[in-house]
Chain A
Amino acid sequence: MQWTRRHLLGLEELSAEEINFILERADSFKEVCTRPNKKVPALVGRTIVNMFFENSTRTNISFQLAARRLSADTLMFSKAGTSIAKGETMLDTARNIEAMGVDVMVLRHGASGAPWKLAANVSCAVVNAGDGQHEHPTQALLDLYTIREARGRIAGLTVGIVGDIAHSRVARSNIWGLTKLGARVMVVGPTTLIPREVEKMGVEVCHDMDHAVRECDVLNMLRIQFERQDGTNPFPSIREYKQMFSLTAERLARGKPDLLVMHPGPVNRGIEISPEVADGPKSLILRQVANGLAVRMAVLQMVAGVAAAS
């Protein structure tokens, strides 16, 4: 096949063939990243701008480094907080930046759907670096890449996604990607963090962490946030959550011997995952970060290629 998409917005709209195409291309960039000279001239003279309407140091750095390793010029625009009715809208900002002649916009935004709105209104390529609670396609791609690298395959594996499924873009993108590539997916968490009719996405719902640990080949632990002050916290206390869902060394020991552990970061050590597990031999966390670069290089090179050709 040949890559034809000018934007990477979400995994829901990609075919299994397209996902595999990206993963295979990431293999090539992973090789580039092992060389002493880690840079290729693929995007010389192209400009990639990171538009971050929500703080995220890691994703920003990963995309910037990926762009630079492709020899693109990079710009960073950061405006934390949400846009407001009276202020400049995202589209105003984007049209201004586009007028300067950029080739790819990498958008992180707190509102679900924002990248679709952007893509419909600019002529450059758009890459979704996380939109609200909706999708985070490059994170899921690097998760898929890491599983495939560690286990040689994805089809037939059982992958548990543990934590706040309802509010997680990482969970949604992972569910689409894993199910398309033939994995069995289990979403694990308290009832109050499981979104309505999620089974229709092709996953099993589980509220018993010990069961999930026994069943799964891979556990992807989501970051848990517990900071609402208005009495609408979805579970009573961190202490109770940890007791029920935290991945501890003791729990992990009851799983399959080759069980692997992932986390999209940043880790709340001692909450969703204990430090010895996060840093232990079954943890793929740092490999995820390394693979993120290769996956993002692949994505940027492909969408920039389509944008340049159109």
Chain B
Amino acid sequence: MPAIVVRNGELLDPGENISGLGHIVAKDGHITYVGPDLAQARMVAGPDAMDFDAEGLMVVPGLIDMHVHFREPGNEAEETVASGSLAAVAGGFTSVVCMANTDPVVDTEADIISARQKSELVGLANIFPVGAVTAGRRGEELAEMAQMARGGAVAFSDDGTAVPTAGLLRRALSYAKMLGRPILEHCEDRSLIGEGVMNEDFVSTTLGLNGIPDEAEDIIVARDVALARLTGGHIHIQHVSTANAVAIIRSAKETGVRVTAEVTPHHLTLNSDCLKTYDPVFRVSPPLRTQTDVLACRQGLKDGVIDAIASDHAPHLEEEKELEFAFSPPGMIGLESTLAILSTELVEPGFFTWSEILPALTAHPSDILNLGRGRLRLGLPADITLIDTKMRWQIDKHRFHSRSRNCPFDRREVVGRVVATMVGGKVKFSLSNPTVS
């Protein structure tokens, strides 16, 4: 395999203190040079290396989405490992972390191995499987977590629902600590969700839709950080959506609890006013909250209370989203819109710099899950994403590589686009034919 010299890009990796014009050499799947000296890069790359002209592009560590749902096995019409992987690289993601709520549930070592084998056959993005916390995600007995860890599970999660009781989660956190893995928790109290289908606020009152109060999330987050303190285990709060949850995580972090957190692009940019059209594309779990919550999530991200940005890419069939709001399943796809939305809604208006956003998509999720990626560092796998931060385009769900179309950002005019994605030193996606010489 010939080496590749990615030359003349605007390198950016704040964690490694890399910022400015430079070159990267990918050789034998790994990064063998990062720096400003093109002559040296060429020497490291060797005589038959290919050139990839990155002039005018931002060159960053390959993005990591630590929360996606590929529906294989069980719902291949919605998404497969192959279609999801293609969506990932098209969105600039070199690594994705797949949740366990497939059909059947990923709750054995064999399931984990099968998921990894499938991703190797597809050969696009790195896929890191998550195993269920409880057998069948039924919330009754622990799944065989140690065997799944041996098979390659990077974490455990019953995502879709919270682990139902404090006693069970205590055991799970304690056990996962022994395995050096975090528990990723979907924080919603079942009894407070009730019949709820959206945030409980004035909008739900006028729309006549049953509401879910913030406290459904806050209570579970508070319970979970308490149990992380008790066990010393690592709890990771998925898709934080309320101002109170941010505050609880902030204070837990201050007292040294092993807690990390993620937020989705939609909870950073959309609020419950979107539901006024009754368009089921805006139904998501946890629900879109108020603008106050949106701003609190942004502040949490800025302050490092929230570590990661994850899409919670949740494909659903068009016909399911054609149902009445309350009957349609919750979830949005995000792999192919995340970068553009963050760029357009957070970076372009000046709320965040790229240096503030990038770690949440690279080094932080890698550290939370011990993936050993997410940095432009010598010796690491050559996962690299090239972004044209100035390119203006319109999101068109019909051109997505995902099999599903439930994207809340469809038709938006955005700025910033992934131009090429390199996984393990190979170009897996390029917007047009790149200048390869």
Is chain B in direct contact with chain A in the complex (CB below 8 A)? Answer: yes
Residue ranges of A at the interface with B (Cβ–Cβ < 8 Å): 12, 82-85, 89-91, 109, 111-114, 116-117, 131-135, 169, 172, 195-198, 200-201, 232
B93 interface hit (Cβ, 8 Å): no
A114 to B278 alpha-carbon distance, docked (Å): 8
Which residues of B lie under 8 Å from residue A114 when comparing CB positions? 324
List, sorted by A's number, 8 A–B pairs whose CB atoms are closer than 8 Å: A83-B324, A111-B324, A112-B208, A112-B209, A116-B278, A133-B210, A172-B208, A232-B194
Interface string of B315-326 (1 = CB under 8 A from A): 000011011111
A85 to B194 alpha-carbon distance, docked (Å): 21
A197 near B323: Cβ-Cβ < 8 Å:
no
A3 to B59 alpha-carbon distance, docked (Å): 59
A103 to B257 alpha-carbon distance, docked (Å): 64
A173 to B205 alpha-carbon distance, docked (Å): 12
Given A83-B323, A85-B320, check contact A113 B209 (CB 8 Å): yes
Which residues of B lie under 8 Å from residue A82 when comparing CB positions? 327
Which residues of A lie under 8 Å from residue B255 when comparing CB positions? none
A291 nearest CB across to chain B (Å): 24
A116 near B204: Cβ-Cβ < 8 Å:
no
A91 near B208: Cβ-Cβ < 8 Å:
no
A112 near B206: Cβ-Cβ < 8 Å:
no
Interface string of B276-318 (1 = CB under 8 A from A): 0110000000000000000000000000000000000000000
B200 interface hit (Cβ, 8 Å): yes
Interface of A is mostly: loop
A235 nearest CB across to chain B (Å): 16
B201 near A113: Cβ-Cβ < 8 Å:
no
A131 near B204: Cβ-Cβ < 8 Å:
no
B359 interface hit (Cβ, 8 Å): no
B317 nearest CB across to chain A (Å): 8
Contact residue among A109, A117, A132, A172 (Cβ-Cβ distance under 8 Å from B206): A172
Which residues of B lie under 8 Å from residue A12 when comparing CB positions? 206
Contact residue among A90, A112, A134, A197 (Cβ-Cβ distance under 8 Å from B202): A197
B211 interface hit (Cβ, 8 Å): yes
Given A90-B324, A117-B324, check contact A112 B207 (CB 8 Å): yes
Which residues of B lie under 8 Å from residue A84 when comparing CB positions? 327
Given A90-B324, A112-B325, check contact A169 B208 (CB 8 Å): yes
Give the residue among B206, B277, B322, B324 with the most A Cβ atoms within 10 A: B324
A91 to B322 alpha-carbon distance, docked (Å): 8
A109 nearest CB across to chain B (Å): 7
B200 near A196: Cβ-Cβ < 8 Å:
yes
A83 nearest CB across to chain B (Å): 6
Other contacts beyond A83-B323, A116-B277, A132-B209: 19, CB < 8 A: A82-B327, A89-B322, A90-B323, A111-B326, A112-B207, A112-B278, A113-B209, A114-B324, A116-B278, A133-B210, A134-B208, A169-B208, A195-B211, A196-B200, A196-B204, A197-B205, A198-B205, A201-B205, A232-B194
Residue ranges of B at the interface with A (Cβ–Cβ < 8 Å): 194, 200-202, 204-211, 277-278, 319-320, 322-327, 329
A85 to B75 alpha-carbon distance, docked (Å): 14
Which residues of A lie under 8 Å from residue B207 when comparing CB positions? 112-113, 134
Contact residue among A83, A85, A117, A196 (Cβ-Cβ distance under 8 Å from B201): A196
Which residues of A lie under 8 Å from residue B278 when comparing CB positions? 112-113, 116-117
B315 nearest CB across to chain A (Å): 14
B324 near A109: Cβ-Cβ < 8 Å:
yes
A105 to B325 alpha-carbon distance, docked (Å): 20
A108 nearest CB across to chain B (Å): 13
Which residues of B lie under 8 Å from residue A131 when comparing CB positions? 208
A159 to B208 alpha-carbon distance, docked (Å): 21
A91 to B211 alpha-carbon distance, docked (Å): 25
A75 to B204 alpha-carbon distance, docked (Å): 34
A89 near B319: Cβ-Cβ < 8 Å:
yes
B292 nearest CB across to chain A (Å): 13
Which residues of B lie under 8 Å from residue A85 when comparing CB positions? 319-320, 323, 327, 329
Which residues of B lie under 8 Å from residue A109 when comparing CB positions? 324
A133 to B320 alpha-carbon distance, docked (Å): 22
A111 near B322: Cβ-Cβ < 8 Å:
no
Contact residue among A89, A90, A133, A232 (Cβ-Cβ distance under 8 Å from B208): A133
A112 to B283 alpha-carbon distance, docked (Å): 14
B208 near A132: Cβ-Cβ < 8 Å:
yes
Which residues of B lie under 8 Å from residue A116 when comparing CB positions? 277-278
B102 nearest CB across to chain A (Å): 17
A132 near B204: Cβ-Cβ < 8 Å:
no
A135 near B208: Cβ-Cβ < 8 Å:
yes
A83 to B194 alpha-carbon distance, docked (Å): 20
Give the residue among A82, A113, A197, A201 with the most B Cβ atoms within 10 A: A113
- Which B residue's beta carbon lies closest to that of A197? B202
Give the residue among A116, A131, A135, A169 with the most B Cβ atoms within 10 A: A116
A82 to B200 alpha-carbon distance, docked (Å): 23
Given A116-B277, A172-B208, check contact A89 B323 (CB 8 Å): yes
- Which B residue's beta carbon lies closest to that of A90? B324
- Which A residue's beta carbon lies closest to that of B329? A85
Which residues of B lie under 8 Å from residue A195 when comparing CB positions? 204-205, 211
Which residues of B lie under 8 Å from residue A91 when comparing CB positions? 322
Which residues of A lie under 8 Å from residue B211 when comparing CB positions? 195-196
- Which B residue's beta carbon lies closest to that of A199? B202
Given A133-B208, A172-B208, A198-B205, check contact A112 B326 (CB 8 Å): yes
B319 nearest CB across to chain A (Å): 7
A132 to B194 alpha-carbon distance, docked (Å): 16
B324 near A197: Cβ-Cβ < 8 Å:
no
Given A89-B319, A131-B208, check contact A111 B201 (CB 8 Å): no
Shortest Cβ-Cβ A-B pairs, 8 listed: A134-B208, A113-B278, A111-B324, A133-B208, A112-B208, A197-B202, A195-B205, A114-B324
Contact residue among A83, A133, A169 (Cβ-Cβ distance under 8 Å from B327): A83
A12 to B208 alpha-carbon distance, docked (Å): 12
Which residues of A lie under 8 Å from residue B323 when comparing CB positions? 83, 85, 89-90
B325 near A111: Cβ-Cβ < 8 Å:
yes
Which residues of A lie under 8 Å from residue B324 when comparing CB positions? 83, 90, 109, 111-114, 117
A132 to B326 alpha-carbon distance, docked (Å): 10
Which residues of B lie under 8 Å from residue A112 when comparing CB positions? 207-209, 278, 324-326
Which residues of B lie under 8 Å from residue A89 when comparing CB positions? 319, 322-323
Which residues of B lie under 8 Å from residue A196 when comparing CB positions? 200-202, 204-205, 211
B327 near A111: Cβ-Cβ < 8 Å:
yes
A147 to B194 alpha-carbon distance, docked (Å): 37
Which residues of A lie under 8 Å from residue B202 when comparing CB positions? 196-197, 200
